[in-house]
Each structure stands twice: as structure tokens, then as C-alpha cells.
Amino acid sequence: MQEKTTPLYTASDILKLLPHRFPFLLVDRVEELVKGDGPTRVGRKIRATKNVTINEPFFPGHFPHRPVMPGVLQIEVLAQAAALGCVELDGPKIDVAIAGVNNARFRRPVVPGDTLQVTAEVIKDRSGLLIVKCEARVEGEIACEAELIAKVFPLEVQ
């Protein structure tokens, strides 16, 4: 049995950091956040979790005979984890948007009962445009991976 750890960010913390809500908030918790050493976000790393349950709203239609998590939603999990790696609860309010997806690969189906362990690392930061290397694993096996291009900008409070 795996040892329980206290998450760095709980679901209620994630709600404060991301604008997503049901049914589109896909990250359940953040286990670890490593900040980069320099003045940019390069080197920031995050480890987050998405628990996949049979109650997900997409499973009845994808597919009724063999439920599989859609690849586009796997990419969205990567993107939400990457965004969480770029913001902080006590930091400035910023927004992060996907600007591109490179080299996406789906290595195994993600099915009800799986737990996605997501990692993301900022590898480039140029004028608010980030390149983030991401992957999601199930029981140590890569389920999906991609390099995301993200735009970071100040959050406009309404």
C-alpha cells in the first residue's frame, strides 16, 4: 500500500488558482512544486494527480462499450497541471492559456480506475511564452506526453 502524503495544493486550493469548474476542472491535487533558480520560470516542475472515475461525464459517450478518456482531455490535464506549476497561491494573479501542442503521443488507454500522475517542467520562458514538457503516467507507464506552448498574462479582475 502506498504511503499517504499531504498534498501541496488540495482541490480547494486548485479552485483558487484555476478558473476551471465542473465538469472541466481535471486536476485533483498537487503533490510537489519545484521553483526554478533563475529570474524566469525555467526549471519550475510540478507533480499533480488526476483520479479517473467511471462517473466522469465523458464516459457514457466515449465509449459505451469500452470507456476511454479522450486524448484531448488528457492534454487538458497536462495543461492544467502546467498552469498550476506557473502560479502560486500568494503570488500575482495570472492566467495561462494553451498556445500550441507539439509532439503529443498517447501510449496507452486511460480508463476508469486509473490515476494519472502528471509531471510538467518549464523548459523555455520568453516574454511570457512558455514551453512546458509534460507527461502523464499510470502505474509508472507513460499514458500520454506532449510539449505545450503556453501564454502567461496578468489576470484581468472583473
CATH number at residue 148: 3.10.129.10
**pLDDT of residue 158 exceeding 60:** no
Is 82 in contact with 46 (CB distance < 8 Å)?
Answer: yes
Residue 2, pLDDT > 80, answer no
Residue 4, in any domain of the structure: no
pLDDT at 16: 92
pLDDT tens by residue, 88-123: 888 888 889 999 999 999 999 999 999 999 999 999
Backbone angles phi, psi at 124, to 5 degrees: -145, 145
pLDDT, mean of residues 61-72:
95
How many structural domains are present in the chain?
Answer: 1
State residue 157's pLDDT score. Answer: 62
| Among the listed residues 74, 62, 71, the one whose alpha carbon sits nearest the alpha carbon of residue 116 | 74
Q: In the predicted model, is pLDDT for residue 54 greater than 70? A: yes
pLDDT at 4 over 80: no
Q: Is residue 3 part of a domain?
A: no
Q: Is 5 a member of any domain? A: no
**Residue 126 is placed in which grid cell?**
520568453
The cell for 48 is: 499533480
- Is 2 part of a structural domain of the chain? no
Q: Quick check: is 17 in a domain?
A: yes
What is the domain range of residue 148? Answer: 11-154
- Label residue 1 by pLDDT band (50, 70, 90): low
Residue 43: inside a domain, yes or no?
yes
**Rounded Cα gap, residues 136 and 129, in angstroms:** 22
pTM for this model (two decimals): 0.93
Active site residues: 62
